[in-house]
Structure formats: C-alpha cells, structure tokens
Amino acid sequence: MIHMASNNTNDNRMNERMEGFGAQRAGSMCNSMRKKGTHRKAALAVTAMVAAAMLALSGCGSGSSSDTSGASSASATADGGMVIGALLPLTGTISYLAPPEEAAIKLAVKDINAAGGVLGKDVTEVEADTSDGEHADQNTSAAQSVLAKHPSVVIGPAASGVVKNVYKSIVAEKIPVISMASTSMTLSGMDPYFFRTVAPDAVQGAVMGNLIAGDGVKKLAIACFNDEYGTGMRDVILEQLKDSGVEVVYGDKDAFDPAETNYASIASAVKNSGADATLVISYDQATPLIKALSSTGVDTHKLYLVDGNTVDYSNTYEPGLLEGSKGTIPGVHVDDAFLEALKGTGVKISDTTYAAETYDAVILAALAAEQGGDVSGETIQKNLASVSGADGGEKCDSFKACKALIKDKKKIQYSGKTGIGAFNKNNDPSSASIGIYEYDKDNVNVFQSMQSGDVPQS
C-alpha cells in the first residue's frame, strides 16, 4: 500500500542558488524561509517487489568480516573518548553531497557532547576525502588516514563504488561502517559490520517506475552512466516497468562512460528513438547531457531525474527549460529547525541532501556505544540494530532523550531525522521514504509528494 502526502503550497524552497551543478557541485539550495521548493526528501513508502540488480563498476567481491582476523582498533582518543571517522566526497563528481554531510556530523557531535558525551566523555571526529568511485587510490588513502586515528565507527562513504573499494580494510579492524548515501542493491547484507541509513535502490526504483507509468509515458529513453549506482538503479526501474505498458525504446542496455565529455551522440540517439520521455541516471554529468538533449530537440519538459541529479538548475539553464520535468530523492523533508542547526555548524551548505541520514548514523553509533558500555567497534556493531528499534523499545527522538532511557535500563527505538525503520537482517533500514519533485519555471525542483513503505529483503 502506498501512502502519499502533497505540498500544494510549495513551502520551504531552498533559494541559495547554485552556479552550475558541475562548477560548484553545490546541489540545490536551501533557505526554508522562501516559498519555493525544497531540495530535500519527504517520507514515503513502497512495498517494492524488485529483484536485486547486478551492478557494474568498482567492486571488491564478496566476503564477510566474520572471516577476517583483524584485531580490534583502539577506537578511542587518548582519554578514552569516542572517535567518529568520516569518509566524505569532498572532491569529485558527487562533491556537492559533502557540505550537508559534514555539517550533519558536526551537529551530531555537538548535540552528543551537549548531552554529556558518550559514557561521560566528549566525542571527536576526523574526516578524509574519498572523492568518487573513479579515484580508487584516493578512496584507499582516505580510509587509511581515518583508520590511523583509531575510530570507533566510520560514517560513509557516500558512493556505492567507493564503499566496495574500502569497506574490507575497515571491517577487518572490527570497525562498523555506516553509509549515509550508498544505495546499491549489492550492498545489502554484504557484511555484518556494514550498515546504512538510506534505503537500497529497490525503493527509489519502484517509486520512479510507478511515477513514469502513472504519468502515462508510452515510450521511454534512458540515458544512464556506467556506474555501480547508475546501472543498478536502471535495472531496478526496468524491472518495475515490466507489464506497465511503458516501452523502453533506448538505453535498456546502453550506458555511457562517467568521464564522457561530448554528449551529442547520446542526445541524437535519444531523439531518434522516438521516445516521449527521457530518464536521466547520472551525477553531475546531467548538466551537459541535458543541454545536449535540449540542443538536439528532445523535450526537456518530460525528463525524469534521480537523486544523483535532482538539483536546483535555476542558475544553469534558461528559465523554463525543465518546467514540468520530475525527479526523486530518498529521505524525508528537512524541517526548519534542523536546517538552521546545520547552518549553525559553520559549514556553508547550499543543499541538505543526505544530511538527515548522516546525522542519524552518528547518533545511532553513539547510542550503541552508550548502551553497550564501551566505545569499541565490536560493541557498537552488536548494539546498532537494537538501538534502532529492531528489538522494540520506547521511542525517543534525540541522543539526550535516548541516553536517559538507556540509563534507566530501558530498551530504546531511536526515531530520528530520517524517518527510517529499524535495521533489518541485512542492516538496511526496514522502511524508508522517497520524495517526488517537479521543476518549476525557474528550473527549481519543488517538492510535490512523498511515499513510504517497507524495504524488501532477500
């Protein structure tokens, strides 16, 4: 069953405009005091019945940390305080995600310490730049840099391909990895020490497939980049479109190089396919690709975008270019109080994508340590599912409130900023949210509705 909520007043549009998605990688802008669209998520649920998709980019193969023999990390500062490690995409094709993630980590640490810290000691954080999946050497060096600081937990990486490049070296030290943004289906249940606070692609893919079919699209072209995230998302959507009456006339097997710079041939192929709508699955490659589609005569009022490229294009294209096009973003809508708190960290944010997921990842790890009685990675791993509510418990919505319940020897269910359900057996959220957005005449993605439901398990 699908539950939907609409925002007909188009409140809380982020108005700090990005000067070209590829130039600043700033994503869509967030100033909730103006009445346009917000570039954040909204609660949703889908009972997704899609097969796990095989994804193709970087990968380290399968394997569980239970088969490794790495010794536990010291997992603490000199005074025994908990250390939060962060692997963020400060550079590369998804660097627009880093500011809200960085701000969320700082805010979570601030809130934890204001409530007395973890086990009576302040929490600290260290971070390193992983870049994206095209920079494997940097992925590895970033992970080693953070590991050298003996973290209790690692928050990130954001990209699925980067997760696969680095997770083994981290979990070998019995340190949990909690990704706030990696959505590849292949990560589900990958390792007992790998968790995520964002739903796998099955959920967003199901919503997108239903959206396309529900809009009456008859012939669909897909422009998808050859990336772990890209091809995986495409395959989930293709599965959802089966028997929907939508014919995929281009792109069901084709995928372009993420390093592509000339999109003329792709745009021509889309145009010649006779499609009446186009699905674009990419990161910031969407900026030149959409321009090429427009130049070729493709109808840019009938585009469908995903979370990798559903951003504010108001300073990128001429007014009206994207009006009527739609996009999806996982997660719930960020409220004004949380937005202002993020801004108060001193990190300059122009978008809030994955901020809530990042914040909750830190809080969950801290609560797991608090409940378990020490800050070791092993203790955190053993308690993460429990504090998320997998064993039931009293609901609480802040570190302070949950900590008080733990002190009273009560089971807890942390219900944080994301609206996700407790971790399931695959260490995925058991339920999740997807927001649907539509572009206005200023090329700003405006929140329209949300859906929420269970995350499928294999």
Residue 64 has pLDDT above 60, yes or no: no
C-alpha separations of 114 from 80, 261, 342, 396 in Å: 18, 48, 15, 17
| 33 alpha carbon, distance to own chain's centre | 24
Q: What is the DSSP letter of 13?
A: B
Phi, psi (rounded to 5 degrees) for 385: -60, -40
Of 219-223, 295-299, 329-333, which gets the smallest average pLDDT? 329-333
Among the listed residues 186, 184, 260, 181, the one whose alpha carbon sits nearest the alpha carbon of residue 223: 260
Cα–Cα distance, 218 to 358 (Å, whole number): 38
Residue ranges of the chain that CATH labels 3.40.50.2300: 5-39+46-53+201-329+431-454, 65-195+334-414
Q: Which position has the higher pLDDT, 366 or 76?
A: 366
Confidence class for position 266, pLDDT limits 50, 70, 90: very high
The CATH class for the domain spanning 65-195+334-414 reads alpha beta
Residue 22 has pLDDT above 70, yes or no: no
Give the amino acid at 316: T
Domain 5-39+46-53+201-329+431-454 CATH (choose: 3.30.830.10, 3.40.50.2300, 3.10.180.10, 3.40.109.10) = 3.40.50.2300
Q: What order do you get walking across the sheet with 124-129 strand by strand? A: 124-129, 83-88, 153-155, 177-179, 194-196
Cis peptide, bond prior to residue 192, ω within 30 of zero: no
- Assess contact for 111 and 398: CB atoms under 8 A: yes
Q: What is the DSSP letter of 274?
A: T
Q: Which residues contact 198 (CB under 8 A, 6 or more apart)?
A: 179, 180, 181, 182, 183, 330, 331, 354, 357, 418, 420, 429, 432
Percentage of the residues of the chain whose pLDDT score is greater than 70:
83
**Which pLDDT belongs to residue 24?**
38
| 98 alpha carbon, distance to own chain's centre | 11
**Which pLDDT belongs to residue 69?**
34
Residue 125 has pLDDT above 80, yes or no: yes
**Which pLDDT belongs to residue 134?**
85
Cα–Cα distance, 175 to 169 (Å, whole number): 9
**Which pLDDT belongs to residue 78?**
55
Among the listed residues 336, 324, 387, the one whose alpha carbon sits nearest the alpha carbon of residue 361: 387
Confidence class for position 147, pLDDT limits 50, 70, 90: very high
Question: Strands 177-179 and 412-414, how do they pair?
Answer: unpaired
Give the amino acid at 348: K
